[in-house]
Structure 1
Amino acid sequence: MASPPTAGSGVARLHTLIAELRLPVVAAPMTRISGPELVAAACAAGIIGSMPAHNASTTAELDSMLTGLLSGLGDAGRLLMPNLVVHRANSRIDADLECFADHQVSAVITSVGAPDSVVRSLHRAGIAVLADVASVAHAERAVRAGVDGLVLLTAGAGGQTGAANPFAFVREVRLRFDGVIALAGGIGDGRSILAAQVAGADLAYLGTRFLATDKSRADERYRQAVLEAGLDDVRLTSRISGIPSSILQSWLDQHEPDPAITTAGFDFGSLTDAGPFAWSAGHAVSAIRQTDSVADVVAALDAEYRSAVDDTLARWRPTPTPHTTSGKE
């Protein structure tokens, strides 16, 4: 393309919201892990909070969750951006869309499928749309659908992910898109958040970093596995839902032979039923060594980010040395 196409109608509102954040961070939606408690703590700490709509067992429960969140957060409720699986296997799409419209959320993050079928209705409701994508082809289709933002799933992202190099992915998408870009994949500290911005992203998308926080819904065994894991303990597998996903080796060692784990196509029920729940984690897992509050994690990220900014400026703008000359003046 000769120039980047114009993004959707909500991009200006997204940029305004991003400018108000304490840090350019999304506490990414995690199946069964991100509940209202985690979202509320993230938004209260000054970052975007997201949870999958399917973490509520019904649309009525989702409605109740959003009511409680928005009433409790006050002005910080604008930082709430729920996630919606748009795969055709999700029979709740229309009902959940109506719920989002009723609550006038700022934005919705779509995943596991093309956003074509939901962008228009969300825009009519005044809601911005971000779509997660794992390839340039996925990104181009989402842009044609009129999304306001893209979440680039790159190598090392937790859960369902992509395989592209993050720097190359951001660069190529920026040639095609002038909207908001969130970068997902291996971001676990403040220095990485800055690197995402320098690469051309507007937001860093962090899920793994919040796995072991006090508001996470992970059980004790999952938390402990996260605390003990490093990058080499994260494996990429398609056996969970048919989509490549980053899963802890410790969970695979226990469950991979389990016949309940599918190698077939995407199954929405596998996200919500009581079957084997995979311990997902991204490459940033080694950044977690203790259970902290969400507020403490955000404060640590903030301090690391500001230190990284100072270090970078010092590195590339060194103190000039006095000019000296030899011989007679």
Structure 2
Amino acid sequence: MNPLIRQRVDDFRNRFGLRLPILLAPMAGACPVALSAAVANAGGMGAMGAVLSTPEQIGQWMDDFRRQSDAPAQVNVWVPDPAPARDAAAEAATRAFLEHWGPPVPASAGDAGPADFDAQFDALVAARPAVASTIMGVFSGEQARRLKAAGIAWFACATTLDEALQAQAAGADAVVAQGMEAGGHRGAFEAARAEAQMSGLFALLPRLADRLDIPVIAAGGIADGRGVVAALLLGASAVQVGTAFLASDESTVPDAWKQALPAAEPEHTRATRVFSGRLGRALETAYVRAAEAVDAPRPQPYPVQRGLTAGMRRQAQADDRLEAMQAWAGQSAWMARRGPAAAIVQAIWQQAQALL
């Protein structure tokens, strides 16, 4: 391995207690403890996506993780957006459209609110994961100071250089460079700017690596050793991998979702707001195509759209019906592998080592 790359990777591994520079992406609803523990025990870092988790669930997840692993894990929280503007007529049109894809949608469904961010943060500090991570913004100065006092590192997701510089100035210990290839929600600090901030990872990553004084973690479209090597050559200290683990033995996503991943070409995913109101990359299903059609009602803002689609999404999962399912996936979905998560980690790193 190139000495400069080795030093950068070793510094990151030693600082954060890792054997391998591979982090599980914090995928809300798709990071069961068993999957996180398997990745962590294989040498990487586990993850919890806690966007809607209660304080009690955050504490319980960390307790359960520690019973299965003594390796590090990150807990990811979503910095809340300002309260959205509501439009009763537009919401009624969206409810009528959604009834073609799931159960009737009550008017109250649009009243869904974000989680209690302050309570989540208090629970996170009490649970003391190795890392707290943010998406959609940065912690306040007081929150950053509390993390430091508790010995918890902070990783901040960024989709642009400006966001990354904001995170560094706010006290982040590392930045996750999220390319537009990544599955799930885009981490844009301003919701309305997400479509305009769709830089590919391998354009964004070297820019951040050249400008930041803190480590950069590459995320988006990395699912094998080739992606790892490319990210490390472009200045990353580690990589964050999500979609590659969705078909693993430990993953608990529905079977229809798992089975669809290997057949999904890069162009078979789409960045869309039709599930939550926030831009996120998912498999292009019949619902996504219909909801994106020119004659369909426009998605409501987050979290209103999330509340309106909740019944449809629950029913689709219960029925294992992909066409109406919220099936997040990155553009590397075709590389998702069956088998134990630990074996996937090992295969990725062995290929990377051979190439390096």
Shorter-chain TM-score bucket reads 0.7 to 0.9
User: How far did 1:61 drift?
Assistant: 2.2
8 A Cα contact 1:32 1:55, kept in partner = no
User: Runs of 4 or more off by more than 6 Å in structure 1?
Assistant: none
For 1:1-329, what aligned pairs fall within 5 Å after superposition?
Answer: 16-18=14-16, 20-54=17-51, 56=53, 58-74=54-70, 76=71, 79-88=72-81, 90-116=114-140, 118-161=143-186, 163-250=198-285, 252-253=287-288, 256=291, 263-267=299-303, 270=306, 275-276=312-313, 277-288=325-336, 290-309=337-356
8 A Cα contact 1:158 1:247, kept in partner = yes
Inter-CA distance 137–192: structure 2 relative to 1 (3 Å threshold): same
Q: Deviations over 1:249-283 (max 9, x none)?
A: 1254576379x997233218838955525111111
C-alpha separation between the residues in 1 aligned to 2:302 and 2:13? 33
C-alpha separation between the residues in 2 aligned to 1:63 and 1:110? 17
C-alpha separation between the residues in 2 aligned to 1:155 and 1:307? 28
8 A Cα contact 1:130 1:150, kept in partner = yes
Aligned counterpart, 2:84: none
8 A Cα contact 2:274 2:292, kept in partner = no
SS in 1 for 2:48: coil
C-alpha separation between the residues in 1 aligned to 2:289 and 2:210? 44
Inter-CA distance 299–55: structure 2 relative to 1 (3 Å threshold): farther
Inter-CA distance 134–251: structure 2 relative to 1 (3 Å threshold): farther
SS in 2 for 1:83: strand
C-alpha separation between the residues in 1 aligned to 2:33 and 2:239? 21
Please tell me the residue identity of whatever aligns with 2:246: L
Q: Deviations over 1:57-77 (max 9, x none)?
A: x21122112112113313x2x
C-alpha separation between the residues in 1 aligned to 2:214 and 2:312? 38
8 A Cα contact 2:51 2:115, kept in partner = no
TM-score (norm 1): 0.80
C-alpha separation between the residues in 2 aligned to 1:297 and 1:121? 36
User: How far did 1:123 drift?
Assistant: 1.8
Please tell me the residue identity of whatever aligns with 2:75: P
C-alpha separation between the residues in 2 aligned to 1:25 and 1:221? 27
Please tell me the residue identity of whatever aligns with 1:282: G
Larger radius of gyration: 1
**5+ residue gaps in structure 1?**
1-11, 310-329
Inter-CA distance 166–61: structure 2 relative to 1 (3 Å threshold): closer
User: How far did 1:83 drift?
Assistant: 0.7
Q: Deviations over 1:28-76 (max 9, x none)?
A: 01121112121111111111111112464x21122112112113313x2
**Aligned-pair identity (%):** 26
Inter-CA distance 109–262: structure 2 relative to 1 (3 Å threshold): farther
Please tell me the residue identity of whatever aligns with 1:64: Q
C-alpha separation between the residues in 1 aligned to 2:167 and 2:125? 21
SS in 1 for 2:74: coil
Please tell me the residue identity of whatever aligns with 1:66: M
Q: Deviations over 1:80-108 (max 9, x none)?
A: 11111111464422222222222321111
8 A Cα contact 1:31 1:52, kept in partner = yes
Q: Deviations over 1:216-250 (max 9, x none)?
A: 12101111111321212111223333333211112
8 A Cα contact 1:239 1:263, kept in partner = yes
8 A Cα contact 1:38 1:294, kept in partner = yes
RMSD: 2.8
C-alpha separation between the residues in 2 aligned to 1:39 and 1:274? 28
Aligned counterpart, 2:191: none
C-alpha separation between the residues in 1 aligned to 2:145 and 2:229? 33
TM-score (norm 2): 0.74
8 A Cα contact 2:13 2:19, kept in partner = no
SS in 2 for 1:168: helix
